[in-house]
Structure 1
Amino acid sequence: MHFRSLALALWLAVPAPVAFLPGHLLATAQAQQKQAITLADIWARPTFQQASVPGFDWLRDGRYYAALGRDGSLMQYSATTGQPTATLVAASALQVAGRPLTVDGYRFNADEQKVLFSTDTEPIYRHSAKATYYLYDRQTQQLSPLSTGGKQGYATFSPDGRQVAFTRDNNLFVKNLASGQETAVTTNGVHNQLINGSADWVYEEEFGFAQGFFWSPDSRHLAYYTFDESQVPEYDMQEWGGLYPTEYRFKYPKAGEKNSVVSVSTYDVASARTVRMDVGPEPDQYLPRVQWTAVPGTLSIQRLNRLQNKLEILHADASTGKTQVVLTDTNAAYVEINDDLKYLAGGKQFLFTSEKDGYQHLYLHDMSGRQVRQLTTGNWEISAVNGFDPKTGYVYYTSTEGSALQRHLYRINLSGKGKQRLSDAGGGTDVVNMSPDTRYFLNTHSSAGVPAVASLREGATGKLVKTLADNAKLRQTLAQYDLGKFEFFTFKTSEGVELNAWMLKPSNFDPAKKYPVLMHVYGGPSFGTISTQTVLDNANGGTSFQNYLWHNMLTEQGYLVVSVENRGTSGRGAAFRKATYANLGKLETIDQGEGAKYLATLPYVDKARIGIWGWSYGGYMTSLAMTKNADLFKMGIAVAPVTNWRYYDTVYTERFLKTPQQNPAGYDDNSPVRFAQNLKGKFLLVHGTGDDNVHFQNSIAFVDALILANKDFQTLYYPNRNHGINGGNTRLHLYRQMTEFIKANL
């Protein structure tokens, strides 16, 4: 960890006589002043609360941004000073029947005179939700409900600010704000059969969006998805608590099963005419992205075959539905889906990222799809396209050019020249939120073990304008606790593959001692904008902040904590990421085993006491490590694991394994269920019974196999908890059980 300045300050604060003590006594005296992290600090109290900029939203001219104030007011801030300049909506105005609204989110209309506030939000799945929306008119200072027909989803102003579209009960609606008239765009939506205007379960989970409708720039048309999921098999999940359990049934396409038949239509607001776009005769395909181009009346639709190795960009005429394929991108394994397709002002060109040269890079195309030029090259990859300035021709993007463990902001001209790094020199990771005109950006920077700093910066230079949240209070709090030393390292496997890793050591680490090791693993393949790296140069080292704290707590109880980045993860190009294609689990398990073998060679590691734990894909990896590498690991904890890829969804699983009909060995050869008889170490299996993502069925199958193999193990099931296993004191309870299991068995 990099608390050098804090450590120096603490050393200077030691009374003078102590400074002359022998080194080991001085260290003891200093250690006595530090506190020990507790599970309650992590999960029950706001001891380590992180500062951020809540509700940050760029305003239209780029000179100001909006954010929610501490009192609940919606405030305007200057981008050049970071100081509040106006109260856009006072908290006192956000009241219904004398009671203040609890604001969950907000959206402006185009001239920023009207605001939609969401409250009483009810989550559905990971991205989806429904809420009660209120419309506030800043000119009349009136607050009114958007609709009285039940909760709404994804309420969105039209670009001209005169209308709002939203979903309800699987249908799509438009409300005219001047007349107050509410019009049903669709009326055929039926639960578990037909969805209009929002995504089905698998699109939401794997393609990363829930809102399925899009206003045209001229506000004349509304494009929307329709999902016919009538033929998709249902998953039946029991919910516990009453005298009799109740059933929750939802459409979930497991690998090899039927998907929704998906279509895209446009609705002409003035004529109320609906036109279905021609997406081809093949119903068994994906349409993972829809957006309007800069050409009036032209819609862009991305079409992906079921094996996900051929992506086509279609341009559609919103009035006729006619389409043409303008670009095709193919890959021997699979094609990345992300949000990097950008149509440039003027309607003549678009930006697109592809890894056709082995790394995700940026390309410029004309509207016919012809490649104008490749803008970026090198053995690194772009992780996001952040903005474009039409005045200067500069594209802003975040990439791994500095290191696969880092992310930094750059810009380059459409000519392919003038590349410039805008992030400060040095390491760490930057998360960028750029203003629409690229004049400024909100930058959230952190490095290993150092809490994030949120700052406003100039788009053209990266120069600091103002620090908005520096987490100074959190830094002061962390300085009072015993925190281990965070070290990155690499090693080569017996196959000559170089792997990245980090290690957390106790603050009083003694190289003459032998320490037990707990390895933390995720290990699953990255896709699109989703990074699955657990070895990153950010505040948490690639894991969650809570896990980072928990790992530190374990180091102070005498453990080393290590994470090894196996093949199949992002940041290092297509060859490294796609090495696991069609055979998930094999190379990943080998690499984690090689990590354990490497650690066993270190003089301060007790090679007989190496454990491993992971969640989701990490639970799958832990289950394989404890069976296929049974001689290397003394203990394992698998949380919410996949144990048979036949139980998981179509989009994710077939992307990496093809269908089970085409590749049965890829599904079966590395299922932990198949290796249950090999278990030797102490094993804890954890799952939430209400997991809609990785179904409880996975753990049931593994438990059954372990029983048949007459193996001893422990289980911990959380009633009605989802994949995150949270709510109330659930996480506190879970991590207490895991901590005690580690202490008893490692």
Structure 2
Amino acid sequence: MKIQRKLLFLPLLCIAFLQAQAQSTLSVEHIMRDPLWMGTFPSSASWSDDSQTIYFRYNQAHDPADSLYKLALSKKGDISKLSWAEMRANERSGEEFNSDKSLRLYQKDKKLMLEVMATGISTTLIEWPENFSNAKFMANENEISFASKNNLYVFNRTSKTTRKVTNISTESKPKDKSNTKDEKVAWLESENLELLDVVKERKENDKMRREYREAFRDAEEEEFTYYTEGKSPVNLQLSPDGNYATFSIYTSSSNKNTIVPDYVDASGYTTDLNTRSKVGTTPTKMEVGIYDLQRDTVYFISTSDLPGIKDLPDYVTDYPDKTWEEKERDVMISSPYFSPDGTKAIVNIGSADNKDRWIAAIDLQTGKLNTLDRQRDEAWIAGPGIGRSFFGGTLGWLPDNKHIYFQSEETGYSHLYLLDMTNGEKKALTSGKYEVFDPFLSKDKKSWYLTTSEVDPGERHFYKMPVMGGKMEKLTSMTGNNEVSLSPDEKKLAIIYSYSNKPAELYLQDNKVGAKAEQLTSGQSEEFKAYNWKDPEIVRFTAEDGAQVPARLYTPDPAKKNGAAIVFVHGAGYLQNVHKWWSSYFREYMFHNLLTDLGYTVLDIDYRGSAGYGRDWRTGIYRHMGGKDLSDQVDGVKYLVANHGVDPERVGLYGGSYGGFITLMALFNASETFKSGAALRSVTDWAHYNHGYTANILNTPEEDPIAYRRSSPIYFAEGLKGNLLMAHGMVDVNVHFQDVVRLSQRFIELGKDNWEMSIYPVEDHGFVEPSSWTDEYKRILKLFNSTLLEE
């Protein structure tokens, strides 16, 4: 017995010794300060019109917030903040260019301005008495359309005249008064006319005079007016040829919004924040109207003939006792995209159940649709550049008025396509197991510029490619993320570049293959540079289903290694954090450096559902959050135990938002793997989250309760065995504080006592105050040190 006790005591002595030896120059208080201590790092680069100055967001003066700075290419070392007067002079609200970008329209107060790009000289075209928007050059470029007070107008640059081209009223259509008399009034009038001849004669004379006047006007029709019956038309636009106007009409849902109490309002009173509704509520409906200006008539786009409009989703087979009605699904329709000459138009349509995206040509004379491309996904439509109706995405026309371009996940990865409108032929311009981001046409319309992950899922590079497809030329070469802004003359690249352990800096490069990028900023503080920030290794481990799961691995100095491990779970679900650039989770990154200094091994996983790896990875959590995304965390721990000397009895995990949700599911459903966890601002019941995100993945609670039941932590709370810390902001308008309140009551009713809660009265979903960050992470570190290192 004495020998056994000595053997058991030795590991404890070793752990205590390692704890005493494992020190770090970092501390939670140090790294969770106002981020200004790290330095100042550029973002959002753009160019002056003459391509001689780069503008970017920066904070060289340590102001309360970032400001707009400039750097002239002729004075590369001279970075200066724009004055208020300079910013006002450079503002171009609602700017729009003509086809060759020689002219620019913009709005200044209630003036429509025209700027000649070669000279920089602006002139006032009109001073309008009301607010206006959406000013655009028409196809002939001599005329300019704009919207004001629910109608469209056209300004002629030659005649300097403005004409109203639509007649839309938000009022109700006047009722026909000729047949509005009730039965009693009609009887009295008839009786009166029968008795009084003079009155009868006068009435007949009035009728003849009225008919004469109408005939004298050559039977001209009254001015056509379209009445919207109290609804405001939005997205008004005129076709470039001036023949059609289009607009959208929204029917808002009457969903009940949730209330978040603010207990620390400056007034001293508790105030209610009126926030979002919950998943499963009735979505807003939208119609797109076509105003035929030649025929003075309005009609609406019809979606009833879309292929598969009545298709039921596959999951209905899980509910054999329910009768599913075959009916047209609700859809959301984008504003039409007109060809440059205005003779053709396409529209992007997304089904409300998120299973379909149609791109269709519009018959402008009838409103009927001809489907050009249908993308169906039994999970949900998404991916880089893939818009569902008004959600944006890559979609437009080539200058030939013949081809349209768009992105699709048809192959499992988001790629760029062309489609010939004359024959329906579709051509993939890019292909492979990588994704395409933000493609745009060159100034001469002969080339594409685009960013892709072709080199590696963890890198982003900028390319050039012929407009009809062909070899892509890789223009950037720095390993990491290259966020490029192309100069207007297309000779230079302004690059916001970062690497795993190097925050963003601004670089300049010639727009040539093989050109070397020149660093223009150096924003790291001396204090930040004094620490040797770790470059985490990117690894892949095998999941239980054979998938290769990417992860960032932080390993400690062997002399400090304590055998414990922490798994970090990133938030947002659809987000990538295993990459070779500076993470948006920079506080967590610094915390992982601290943990590694203290002897912990840290693993940061791009679990199923994460961005950057194509459609199958993205949809791996469909109808079961807490399924493969959780088993990937468990398999990550198995990898650490097998390959990095981690003690399977000393593993914790933590994360915020979606990461907090996974932490709860891990402690409830994988308690044999995880001894402790910190769930930050976590979703506890998906039926209480928002519609836009949740309905994609789990459908709706009314139609697919199975998915919600197996995906919501609150149903598995009885499985809690380890040590749980929950932390939540009380004014969180994204994941409401109500989530953890309901789960806490569940713990109380279950008699659980191995949990604690930390609340932050002034914080929303994303914490702001350094004191809150510090308090939260001190508690997280204390949890791990006390449960994973101490007996």
**What range describes the TM-score normalised by the shorter chain of this pair?**
0.7 to 0.9
Report if the CA contact (8 A) 1:555-1:561 is conserved: yes
Aligned: 1:349 with 2:403: yes
Please name the residue that 2:495 is paired with.
Answer: 443
Report matched runs for 1:165-244 at 5 Å. 225-240=248-263, 241=265
CA displacement, residues 104-135 of structure 1 (integer Å, 9 cap, x when unaligned): 99665655686769xxxxxxxxxxxxxx9999
- Alpha-carbon deviation of 1:662? 3.7
- Is the alpha carbon distance of 1:553 and 1:76 closer, same or farther for their aligned partners in structure 2, counting shifts above 3 Å? closer
Aligned with residue 517 of structure 1, among 565, 568, 575:
565
Equivalent residue letter for 2:508: L
- Residue aligned with 1:625, SS: helix
- Is the alpha carbon distance of 1:412 and 1:579 closer, same or farther for their aligned partners in structure 2, counting shifts above 3 Å? same
Aligned: 1:263 with 2:287: yes
Please name the residue that 1:57 is paired with.
Answer: 46
Aligned: 1:621 with 2:662: yes
Please name the residue that 1:700 is paired with.
Answer: 741
Please name the residue that 1:26 is paired with.
Answer: none
Please name the residue that 1:10 is paired with.
Answer: none
- Alpha-carbon deviation of 1:51? 2.1
Please name the residue that 2:273 is paired with.
Answer: 248
CA displacement, residues 82-105 of structure 1 (integer Å, 9 cap, x when unaligned): 699999x9634779xxxxx9x999
Equivalent residue letter for 1:357: T
Q: Which runs of 5+ in 2 are unaligned?
A: 1-21, 98-102, 172-228, 305-327, 388-392
- Residue aligned with 1:444, SS: strand
Residues 319-328 or 657-666, more deviating = 319-328
- Alpha-carbon deviation of 1:688? 2.4
Q: Distance in 2 between matches of 1:84 and 1:184?
A: 54
- Alpha-carbon deviation of 1:342? 3.3
Report if the CA contact (8 A) 1:293-1:299 is conserved: yes
- Residue aligned with 1:668, SS: helix
Aligned: 1:503 with 2:553: yes
Please name the residue that 1:374 is paired with.
Answer: 428
- Is the alpha carbon distance of 1:661 and 1:68 closer, same or farther for their aligned partners in structure 2, counting shifts above 3 Å? closer
Q: Distance in 1 between matches of 2:617 and 2:594?
A: 33
Please name the residue that 1:91 is paired with.
Answer: 84
- Is the alpha carbon distance of 1:723 and 1:226 closer, same or farther for their aligned partners in structure 2, counting shifts above 3 Å? farther
Aligned with residue 707 of structure 2, among 644, 660, 666:
666
CA displacement, residues 421-475 of structure 1 (integer Å, 9 cap, x when unaligned): 2221x63222233456755433222222122232233445363475443xx3417
The root-mean-square deviation of aligned C-alpha atoms, in Å, is 4.8
Q: Distance in 1 between matches of 2:614 and 2:69?
A: 42
- Is the alpha carbon distance of 1:473 and 1:261 closer, same or farther for their aligned partners in structure 2, counting shifts above 3 Å? closer
Equivalent residue letter for 1:309: K
- Is the alpha carbon distance of 1:181 and 1:633 closer, same or farther for their aligned partners in structure 2, counting shifts above 3 Å? farther
Q: Distance in 1 between matches of 2:394 and 2:330?
A: 25
- Is the alpha carbon distance of 1:347 and 1:42 closer, same or farther for their aligned partners in structure 2, counting shifts above 3 Å? farther
Report if the CA contact (8 A) 1:610-1:634 is conserved: yes
- Alpha-carbon deviation of 1:370? 1.6
- Alpha-carbon deviation of 1:346? 2.9
Relative to the length of structure 1, the TM-score reads: 0.74
- Alpha-carbon deviation of 1:677? 1.0
- Is the alpha carbon distance of 1:675 and 1:76 closer, same or farther for their aligned partners in structure 2, counting shifts above 3 Å? closer
Please name the residue that 2:509 is paired with.
Answer: 457
CA displacement, residues 496-532 of structure 1 (integer Å, 9 cap, x when unaligned): 22211112234xx125732422211137653xxxxx1
Q: Distance in 1 between matches of 2:426 and 2:122?
A: 50
Aligned: 1:575 with 2:616: yes
Percent identity over the alignment is: 23
Report if the CA contact (8 A) 1:444-1:452 is conserved: yes
- Is the alpha carbon distance of 1:518 and 1:136 closer, same or farther for their aligned partners in structure 2, counting shifts above 3 Å? farther
Please name the residue that 2:222 is paired with.
Answer: none
Equivalent residue letter for 1:501: A
Q: Distance in 2 between matches of 1:605 and 1:475?
A: 35
Please name the residue that 2:38 is paired with.
Answer: 48
Report if the CA contact (8 A) 2:33-2:770 is conserved: no
- Residue aligned with 2:711, SS: coil
Aligned: 1:331 with 2:377: yes
- Residue aligned with 2:450, SS: strand
Q: Distance in 2 between matches of 1:133 and 1:560?
A: 61
Q: Distance in 1 between matches of 2:239 and 2:73?
A: 29
Aligned with residue 351 of structure 2, among 273, 281, 305:
305
Aligned with residue 303 of structure 2, among 280, 289, 299:
280
Equivalent residue letter for 1:483: W
Aligned with residue 479 of structure 1, among 508, 529, 540:
529
- Alpha-carbon deviation of 1:251? 5.2
Report matched runs for 1:355-370 at 5 Å. 355-368=409-422, 370=424
Q: Distance in 2 between matches of 1:277 and 1:371?
A: 28
Please name the residue that 1:296 is paired with.
Answer: 342
- Is the alpha carbon distance of 1:476 and 1:173 closer, same or farther for their aligned partners in structure 2, counting shifts above 3 Å? farther
Aligned with residue 39 of structure 1, among 29, 32, 40:
29
- Residue aligned with 2:255, SS: coil
Report matched runs for 1:142-161 at 5 Å. 158=136
- Is the alpha carbon distance of 1:335 and 1:79 closer, same or farther for their aligned partners in structure 2, counting shifts above 3 Å? farther
Report matched runs for 1:644-655 at 5 Å. 644-655=685-696
- The aligned length equals 654
Q: Distance in 1 between matches of 2:534 and 2:367?
A: 60
Please name the residue that 1:3 is paired with.
Answer: none
Instruction: Find the structure with the greater CA-based Rg.
Output: 2
Relative to the length of structure 2, the TM-score reads: 0.70
- Alpha-carbon deviation of 1:580? 2.4
- Is the alpha carbon distance of 1:419 and 1:139 closer, same or farther for their aligned partners in structure 2, counting shifts above 3 Å? closer
Equivalent residue letter for 1:519: V
Equivalent residue letter for 2:627: K
Report if the CA contact (8 A) 2:501-2:533 is conserved: no
- Residue aligned with 1:724, SS: coil
- Residue aligned with 1:605, SS: coil
CA displacement, residues 629-659 of structure 1 (integer Å, 9 cap, x when unaligned): 1121122111222222222233322222233
Report matched runs for 1:587-666 at 5 Å. 587-666=628-707
- Alpha-carbon deviation of 1:233? 2.8
Q: Distance in 1 between matches of 2:162 and 2:609?
A: 53
- Alpha-carbon deviation of 1:320? 7.2
Report if the CA contact (8 A) 1:484-1:505 is conserved: no
Q: Distance in 2 between matches of 1:360 and 1:45?
A: 35
- Is the alpha carbon distance of 1:689 and 1:76 closer, same or farther for their aligned partners in structure 2, counting shifts above 3 Å? closer
Please name the residue that 2:589 is paired with.
Answer: 548
Q: Which runs of 5+ in 1 are unaligned?
A: 1-30, 96-100, 118-131, 199-211, 527-531
CA displacement, residues 182-223 of structure 1 (integer Å, 9 cap, x when unaligned): 9998868xxxx999688xxxxxxxxxxxxx677877899986
- Is the alpha carbon distance of 1:45 and 1:406 closer, same or farther for their aligned partners in structure 2, counting shifts above 3 Å? closer
Q: Distance in 1 between matches of 2:245 and 2:762?
A: 38
Please name the residue that 2:202 is paired with.
Answer: none
Q: Distance in 2 between matches of 1:133 and 1:518?
A: 59
- Is the alpha carbon distance of 1:52 and 1:234 closer, same or farther for their aligned partners in structure 2, counting shifts above 3 Å? same
Q: Distance in 1 between matches of 2:772 and 2:113?
A: 36
Q: Distance in 2 between matches of 1:618 and 1:166?
A: 46
- Alpha-carbon deviation of 1:163? 8.6
Q: Distance in 1 between matches of 2:744 and 2:111?
A: 45
- Is the alpha carbon distance of 1:156 and 1:39 closer, same or farther for their aligned partners in structure 2, counting shifts above 3 Å? farther
- Residue aligned with 1:608, SS: coil
Equivalent residue letter for 2:84: A
Please name the residue that 1:203 is paired with.
Answer: none
- Alpha-carbon deviation of 1:672? 1.0
Q: Distance in 1 between matches of 2:91 and 2:751?
A: 50
Q: Distance in 1 between matches of 2:707 and 2:766?
A: 27
Report if the CA contact (8 A) 1:482-1:556 is conserved: no
